[in-house]
Structure 1
C-alpha cells in the first residue's frame, strides 16, 4: 500500500521492521535537534600522604557568575576538609554466557562487525564443529552441559591466548551462575565444543575468541574491589571523589580488562579520615555542556530491540515482551539488513543513520499501530494464548485480516514528501509536486514528464540540491563531478527552458597584469 501511495519504488513495512526503523529515526532526530545547555563545575586539586588527587564539585551551576562566585569562596577557604568517608567491598559477578544477540552486540562494539556478519561467522564456526548452535536466545546451560565444562576449560589450555588463564582456573569450583535448566530454551547458550579449532580465518578466530573468552569469564569468580567514596568541603561547596583498589580480578583477568572510571574517579586514594584538613593546591572552573543521546549503532540497536517493551504500561503486553523484545536472536540481523537493502538506513562510521527515504517512511508511519511496539506485544500475547489453547487461531487470523485492511486503507491515503518536511511544486506543469525516490525525483502529475536523475557525473544529488534546482532553476556550486576522462570538476546545475539539466561553469577572473 505504501508503494502504491508513493507511486514508484518499493516501500516495505513489517511488524518488526517498522518499529525498528522508528527507533533509528526517532533517535537520529532527537540527536540532531538536541540543543546543548552549558553548565559549570569546579575541580579542586589536593594532596595527602604524598598522593595527589582531584575532587569534583557535586553542584553544577547553570549560570557562570554563580560558579565564579563559588570558585572564589573555595579559594578563600584555602583548604579542603573531609566531611565523610565510606569504605566498602564491591564485588561484580561475571557476565552470563552469550546468546546470539549479545554476541552480535559485543562483536559490533569490539570488532566493528555487523550483526549479519557475526551470525554468518558463528554459523561457519558451528559447521566446523568448534562452537555450539548459534541461533539461540538463551544465556544459560543445563546441568548435563555443565558437567562437560571442566573438559572444555581444559581444552583451552592448548589454545595460546587463554592457556595461562585456563590452566589456573579451578575446574572443581566453576561458577554455577549460568546453570539453570528452566532458562534453557530450544538451544543452550553459546559455548565452544570439545574440538580445538584448526585453520580459521582472522574474523573466525576473533569471534571464536570472544565466545571462548566469555565462557572462561562466565565460569570464573567474582571481581572484588575495595571502594572508597569521600566527600570533602571548601567554603560552602562539597566535592566528591571515588577510588578503588583491585583485591581480586576474578573474571576480569581473562582479557585483562579494567573498568574505566569517570573524570572524578582516582585509581587509588590515600587513607582519608573524617575531619582531616587537606591543602588546596588549586581549583579550576570547568565549562561543560549537556550531551544528546548518541546515535544508535548496531550494538545499541540490538539492545533496544531486545529490550523493547520495557516502557509499556500495560502489564500483560509488557509481560509478553519480557525476555523477548521484538524479533528473535535469529531474525534481528536480517531485519537490520533489510533496512539497509530497502535504502532506509546507511552506516556513518559505526552509527546507523536514516536516509531521506527512511525518514519519509518514518514520518508517515510513526503514529500508526504498525510502528508501535505495543502492536507486537498484542500479537505475542495472542500467539501465547493460542499456544495455551485459550484463544482460537481462526479468531486471531480474522483480527489480523481486519487490521491489515485498516492499515492498508490508511497508507493508501498518504504520499511521500520531501525530507525535512520540504515540498516544492513542479515548474513544468505547475500542477504536480516533486516526489523524491532513491534514484530520481519526478513530478506527481502522471501526465508530466519532468524527471531529474540523482546521479549526475558520478555525483549523487541530495534532496536539498534538487529542491534548489527546481525552485531557483540553478544550484550553488557543487564540487566533485567526474567527467568521462576521469577528471574531477566543480560546477552549478541549471534547469533550462526545456527542463533539461545542464552544467554552468563559473568564469575564472583574469589575473590583473603587474
Structure 2
C-alpha cells in the first residue's frame, strides 16, 4: 500500500519551516521537509516571471518603434537561474505519484496566489488544490487554518486578478518604456502605477514653484492671563491702526460658551496608516516599515501585514483582551482597566485580512533580541491596539469672543475630563482658559501686539503624505460604491516608491528632520512628455476597480486585458515626441554614437562604452579579449566608427599564430543580446 502525501507549498523557507513544525514534517530533505504524511516546500518568492520580449521573437532583443506594440498572444514564463534548483524540486514534488493533494500556503493575498499558481501550472500539475488562508503565523493559527482548508477554486478569481495585474504591468511597462526611451534617447521607466505617482510628485513641486506668498497681520490682546486673537488683516497699516485703537481700552466678553466634547479613539492600523505613522514618528520609508512588519509576521509577533482593513472580525472579540495584554507587555505599560473589544471588531469592514495587531506570542518575546526597527514598529502596532480599545477622550471646551475697538477677538481653551485613549498617546497638553468668564465682563487690555505672517506654500511630499495621496487619488471621480480607489494597493505602494527612486526619477532629500520626496530633472521632464492616459490617477484607480471585478468574477479577464491592449495600441499609434524635447533630456556626457539595439545614446565610461538606456544593457568593453589578443585597444574613435558605420579599420594587428602584424576591418555584430566582432580582409 502506497503512503499518500499532502504537499504544502509556502512562499518562503522560514514560513515553510514554521508550518512543517506544526504538521510534524520534521525530516529535512533537499528543498523540502517531510513527515507525518506531509511534504512541505517553498517558492522563494516569485519563482517564475513573465518572459522578456526576446523570448517571443528574437527581433525584440533590439528596441525599435516599428516593432511596437508587443502584444503576446500566449504568455510565457521563465525561471531565473538562481531559482532553477528550487523550481525543479517543486516540479518533482508536484509530479510525485504519492502526492494526492496540494495545499497553497503562500501569503494569503493576490501576489501569494499568483506565486503558487504560476509554479503549479508551470509544473504541469492538475492535482486537487486546497488553500490555507491565515492572518497569523502562530502555531495555533496554523493548526486552525489546516483544520479549515478551503477549496482552491474559491480563489480562482483572485488568481485571475493577480495574473491580469501582472500582464497589464508588463504590457504598459514594456511598450511604454521602449517607446519613450527610443523617442527620447534615454532610459525612461514607465509603469501603470509608477507614472501616476510620479505625476503627483511633479505636480506638487509645480504648485510650490508657482506659489506666491502673501503677507498677513493679526492683532493679539493680552487680557489678564488670556490671549485673544483677531482675524487676519491683509494691510499692515490697517492692523497697526486697530492695535493703536485697542491700546488703553478694556475688552468686553460678548460670548463665553462651555461645551463638553469627546473624540473616539483612532482605528487600528492597516498597512498604509502604519507606514504613514512610522514615517512621521520614526522617519522610516514605506518599504522599511513593510520589511519590518513582514519580519515580525514571520517571527509570529504580528498578524499579516498587507491589509487594507482597520478592524478585527466579530469572531475575534473574545480574543481581544489577551491581545491587549500582549500589547501592554510590548510597551511596558499597564493594560486599560476596561477593554472595549466590541469597538475594534466589525466583520463588515474587513476584506481579505483584518487589521494589523500584535499576536499573543508577543507578550513572552525577548524584545531586546529584535532589531531596533522591528521593535519600534511592534511598539507602534501595540500602542494602536491599546488606544483603540479605550473609551473616548473627553474634554470641556470653552470658546470666548470679546469686543474691543469695534472688532472681535477670540480664544479657545480645553479642560481634560477623561483622558480615555489619550493615556496611550504622546500628545501635547491642552491649554485652558481662566475660570469665571461670563458675558458682559470687562477685561483689561494689558498689552497689544501685531504679529506678521505669510501664507505658506503646499508642502513637499514625504512618504507619509504621498501614501495618503496615493490612497485617495481620483477618489472624487470614482463611483461611491467603488471598492478600490487611489493609486496601487497597500501591498504595492512601497515598492512603487522604491522603484521611482531606483529609476532616478525621484530622490529623497532630508531637510532638518524631515525627508522629502522630490522629482529629479528626468522625472519632471518625463511627466512633461507623458500623455494624460499614463499619468492620470483616475485611470489607474479605474484599473484597480476593474481588477476587483475580475476577482469577484463579474468581469472576464479577457475584457480587462482587451482594455489594456487597446490603450497600448493607441499609445504606440498616436504618440508623437514633444517638440524641443532635447532641452528636457540633456546629457552631461559626450555621445559616442547611436546604440544599435535601441537607438539611445552610447557614452564613454571607465570600462567601456555604454548605452545610456539602462534597460538596453548594450556595451562595448574596453578590455575586450578580441582587441587585447591583437594587442589593440578599443579607443573612443574606433567605438564611434563601429557605432556609426558598423565597422572600423585596424592597422598593425598582431597575430598569435604567426607573431606578425596585419591590417583588417572589424565588423560589429549584435543580435540584441550579445555583441560579437568579425574580421574581414580586403573590400567586403
Bin the TM-score by the shorter chain: 0.7 to 0.9
Cα RMSD for the two superposed structures: 2.7
Q: 1:377 aligns with which of 512, 520, 541?
A: 541
Give the whole-Å Cα distance in 2 for the aligned partners of 1:20 and 1:319: 23
- Structure 1 residues 416 and 98 mapped into 2: Cα distance closer, same or farther (>3 Å)? farther
Structure 1 unaligned spans of 5+: 261-265, 424-434, 456-514
* TM superposition shift of 1:410: 4.5
TM-fit CA distance, 1:324: 3.7
What residue in structure 1 maps to residue 186 of structure 2? 8
- C-alpha distance in structure 2 between counterparts of 1:311 and 1:133, whole Å: 30
In structure 2, the partner of 1:478 is: none
The aligned counterpart of 1:332 is: 493
**1:288 CA displacement:** 1.0
Counterpart contact for 1:73–1:236, Cα < 8 Å: no
1:366-402, CA deviations, whole angstroms, 9 ceiling, x for partnerless residues? Answer: x511111221233234444445555443333222212
Cα distance in 1 for partners of 2:593, 2:241 equals 62
CA distance in 2, matches of 1:389, 1:124: 33
Match of 1:213 in 2: 383
Residues 281-430 of structure 1 aligned to structure 2 (within 5 Å)? 281-312=446-477, 316=479, 319-320=481-482, 324-349=485-510, 350-365=515-530, 368-387=532-551, 391-411=555-575, 413-414=577-578, 417=581
Q: Secondary structure at the match of 2:403?
A: strand
Alignment partners' CA distance in 2, 1:446 and 1:414: 22
Q: 1:152 to 1:80 in 2, by over 3 A?
A: same
Quickly say closer, same or farther: Cα 1:138–1:156, change in 2 above 3 A. Answer: closer
CA contact (8 A) 1:5 1:411 kept: no
Aligned: 1:135 with 2:345: no
Q: Determine if contact 2:402/2:410 at 8 Å carries over to the other structure.
A: yes
Task: Flag the 1:353–1:158 CA change in 2: closer, same or farther, 3 A.
Answer: closer
Q: Partner of 1:243 in structure 2?
A: 413
Q: Is the alpha carbon distance of 1:368 and 1:114 closer, same or farther for their aligned partners in structure 2, counting shifts above 3 Å? A: same
Cα 1:131–1:386 shift into 2, 3 Å: closer
Q: Assess if the C-alpha contact under 8 Å between 1:80 and 1:279 holds in 2.
A: yes
Is the aligned partner of 1:188 residue 2:349? Answer: no
- Against the structure 1 CA distance between its residues 454 and 324, is the aligned structure 2 distance closer, same or farther, given a 3 Å change threshold? farther
Q: Scaled by the length of structure 2, what TM-score is found?
A: 0.57
Q: 1:175 to 1:41 in 2, by over 3 A?
A: farther
Contact 1:39/1:61, CA 8 A, preserved across alignment? yes
Deviation digits for residues 215-240 of structure 1 (CA, Å, limit 9, x no counterpart): 10111111111101110110111101
Higher Cα Rg: structure 1 or 2? 2
Query: In the alignment, what sits opposite 1:231?
Result: 401
In 2, are the aligned partners of 1:364 and 1:414 still within 8 Å (CA)? yes
1:306–1:323: 8 Å Cα contact kept in structure 2?
Answer: no
Q: How many correspondences in the alignment?
A: 418
How far apart are the structure 1 equivalents of 2:508 and 2:200?
A: 15
Which residue number corresponds to residue 508 of structure 1? none
- Whole-Å separation in 2 of the counterparts to 1:216 and 1:154: 9
Q: Equivalents in 2 of 1:154, 1:446: separation in Å?
A: 63
User: Corresponding residue for 1:57?
Assistant: 230
Higher relative CO (Cα under 8 Å, sequence separation at least 6) belongs to: 1
Relative to structure 1, the CA distance from residue 151 to residue 101 in structure 2 (aligned partners, 3 Å threshold; closer, same or farther) is: same
Matched, 1:36 2:213: yes
Distance 1:126 1:382, change over 3 A: closer
CA contact (8 A) 1:223 1:250 kept: yes
User: Contact conserved, 1:252 with 1:258, CA < 8 A, in 2?
Assistant: no
Instruction: After TM superposition, list the pairs within 5 Å mapping 1:130-169 onto structure 2.
Output: 130-159=301-330, 161-164=331-334, 166=335, 168-169=336-337
2:223 maps to 46
Alpha-carbon distance in 2 for matches of 1:54, 1:224 = 24
Tell me which moved more, 150-159 or 126-135: 150-159
Give, in whole Å, the separation in 2 of the partners of 1:410 and 1:271: 73
Secondary structure of the corresponding residue to residue 244 of structure 1: strand
**1:396–1:450 Cα change, 3 Å:** closer
1:256 positional shift: 3.9
Provide the rounded CA distance (Å) in 2 between the counterparts of 1:391 and 1:328: 19
Q: Hey, what's the Cα distance between the residues in 2 that align with 1:331 and 1:415? A: 35
Distance across 2 between alignment mates of 1:384 and 1:79: 65
Cα deviation digits, residues 392-417 of structure 1 (max 9, x gap)? 43333222212111223455534784
* Distance (whole Å) between structure 2 residues aligned to residue 232 and residue 441 of structure 1: 70
Pair 75,454 (structure 1): closer, same or farther in 2 beyond 3 Å: farther
State the distance in 1 between where 2:580 and 2:355 align: 44
